C-alpha cells in the first residue's frame, strides 16, 4: 500500500514525536499532524470534521494528558475527563470516517495495585487500582474497551482493525520536565540538574526509594508501536487473544533509590540524596510481562544507562 495517510494524534508529545521520527524514515507514507490550536481533540465537532476532510488511512492515538503522582492526585478530574473525551472523539471520529486501522497507546497503570509480578495481559480488571492514578487508569482501560468493542461490533461489517499496546514507564526526548507534574525520570533529571547548577547540598526524592519501576526508552516504544501496527492481522489477533491488547516492556527494572543514584552520576551532582518519607511511593512494583511481543521478534535496543544519558542530553538541549 503506497501513499498511506497516517494521522499521529499527540505528535508533539514524547511518544507521538518519536513515532513521527520513525515514520519519516519509511517510504510511501504521508504523515498528518495537527497542533492543539488547529485541532482540539476534546471538541467532537472539530475531530469529526478533521477526519471527514483528511481521508486518513491509519491513526496512532498517542494523545493524552499525562503526569506523575503529584499531577494525578492534584488534577484527577482533568485526567479522567480529558483522556476519556480524547479517546472517544478520536476512535469514534476515525470509525465514522471509515478509518480501518488504529493503534491506541495505553499505560501499565491499568493493572491492579497488588497483582503478581510480572503483570500479564490477563490480569486486567482482576483487582483494585492504585489510588494515586486511578482516574487516569480508568480512562486508559476505557480506551482499550472502546477499541475492543468497535472491533467486536464492526470488525467484520466494516473491516475494522483497532489495536492496543500497553507500554511500561517511558522516558526520553520530548519528555515533560516540569518540576511538579513530570514522571519520575524527567523529574529527577530536572531536580539533580538544578541542584548541580545552584550548588545545593542535597536533593529530595519522594518516598522511601524502595519502589521499583521498569523503564523503556521512548524510541524503543515507537519501534514497538509501528511493529504492532504492521503485524499481519491474524498474527496480531492470536497474540492478543483474549485480552485485546499487548504489553510493551524492557525488563529494565530498577528501584527509585538506584535510579536516583544513576541520574545523580549522569548529571554530575556531587551532593547527597535524601528521601521524603512523608510522600507516597505509588505502586511498589510495576513490571510487565512482554513475552507475547518478544516472541514475535521485537526487542528493545537502548539500555537504561545509555537511555538516561540520551535523556539528559535532550534535557540540556531544550533548556
Q: What is the pLDDT of residues 272-288, one digit of tens each?
A: 999 999 988 877 888 99
CATH of the domain at 95: 3.40.50.720
Per-residue pLDDT, 2? 65
- Omega before residue 242 within 30° of 0, cis: yes
User: What pLDDT digit, counting tens, does each position of 115-172 carry?
Assistant: 999 999 999 999 999 898 899 999 999 999 999 999 999 999 999 999 999 999 999 9
Per-residue pLDDT, 183? 84
How much of the chain exceeds pLDDT 70, in percent?
A: 99
- pLDDT greater than 90 at residue 298: yes
Compute the distance between CA of residue 195 and CA of residue 201 in angstroms, rounded to an integer: 8
136 part of the active site: yes
Please tell me the total count of domains within the chain: 1
- pLDDT greater than 80 at residue 1: no
Q: Which of 111, 136, 177, 181 is catalytic?
A: 136
Per-residue pLDDT, 71? 84
Q: What is the dihedral of CA 203, 15, 69, 133, to 10 degrees?
A: -160
Mean pLDDT within 180-209: 93
Start-to-end Cα distance in the chain = 41
**pTM to 2 decimal places:** 0.94
Per-residue pLDDT, 302? 97
- pLDDT greater than 80 at residue 13: yes
- pLDDT greater than 90 at residue 195: yes
User: What pLDDT digit, counting tens, does each position of 64-123 carry?
Assistant: 998 878 888 899 999 999 999 999 999 999 999 999 999 999 999 999 988 999 999 999
Residue-number span of the structural domain to which 122 is assigned = 4-318
The mean pLDDT value of the chain amounts to 95
Per-residue pLDDT, 283? 79
User: What pLDDT digit, counting tens, does each position of 220-247 carry?
Assistant: 999 999 999 999 999 999 999 989 999 9
Amino acid at each position: 500500500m503506497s501513499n498511506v495517510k497516517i494521522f499521529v494524534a499527540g505528535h508533539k508529545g514524547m511518544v507521538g514525536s518519536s513515532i513521527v521520527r520513525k515514520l519519516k524514515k519509511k517510504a510511501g507514507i504521508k504523515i498528518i499532524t495537527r497542533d492543539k490550536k488547529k485541532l482540539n481533540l476534546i471538541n467532537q465537532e472539530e475531530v469529526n470534521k478533521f477526519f471527514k476532510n483528511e481521508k486518513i488511512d491509519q491513526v496512532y492515538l498517542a494523545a493524552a494528558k499525562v503526569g506523575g503522582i503529584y499531577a494525578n492526585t492534584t488534577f484527577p478530574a482533568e485526567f479522567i475527563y480529558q483522556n476519556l473525551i480524547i479517546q472517544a472523539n478520536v476512535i469514534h471520529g476515525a470509525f465514522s470516517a471509515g478509518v480501518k486501522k488504529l493503534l491506541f497507546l495505553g499505560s501499565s497503570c491499568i493493572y491492579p495495585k497488588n497483582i503478581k509480578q510480572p503483570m500479564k495481559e490477563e490480569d486486567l480488571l482482576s483487582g483494585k487500582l492504585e489510588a494515586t492514578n486511578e482516574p487516569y487508569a480508568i480512562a486508559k482501560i476505557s480506551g482499550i474497551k472502546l477499541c475492543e468493542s468497535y472491533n467486536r461490533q464492526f470488525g467484520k461489517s466494516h473491516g475494522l482493525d483497532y489495536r492496543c499496546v500497553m507500554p511500561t514507564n517511558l522516558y526520553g526526548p520530548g519528555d515533560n520536565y516540569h518540576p511538579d507534574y513530570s514522571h519520575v525520570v524527567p523529574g529527577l533529571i530536572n531536580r539533580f540538574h538544578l541542584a548541580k547548577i545552584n550548588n545545593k547540598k542535597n536533593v529530595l526524592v519522594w518516598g522511601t526509594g524502595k519502589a521499583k519501576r521498569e523503564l523503556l526508552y521512548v524510541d524503543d516504544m515507537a519501534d514497538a508501536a509501528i511493529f504492532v501496527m504492521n503485524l499481519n492481522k491474524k498474527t496480531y489477533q492470536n497474540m492478543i487473544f483474549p485480552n485485546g491488547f499487548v504489553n510493551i516492556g524492557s525488563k529494565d527494572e530498577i528501584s527509585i533509590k538506584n535510579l536516583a543514584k544513576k541520574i545523580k552520576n549522569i548529571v554530575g551532582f556531587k551532593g547527597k540524596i535524601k528521601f521524603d518519607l512523608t510522600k507516597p511511593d505509588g505502586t511498589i512494583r510495576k513490571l510487565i510481562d512482554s513475552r507475547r511481543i518478544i516472541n514475535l521478534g521485537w526487542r528493545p535496543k537502548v539500555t537504561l544507562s545509555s537511555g538516561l544519558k540520551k535523556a539528559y542530553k535532550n534535557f540540556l538541549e531544550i533548556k
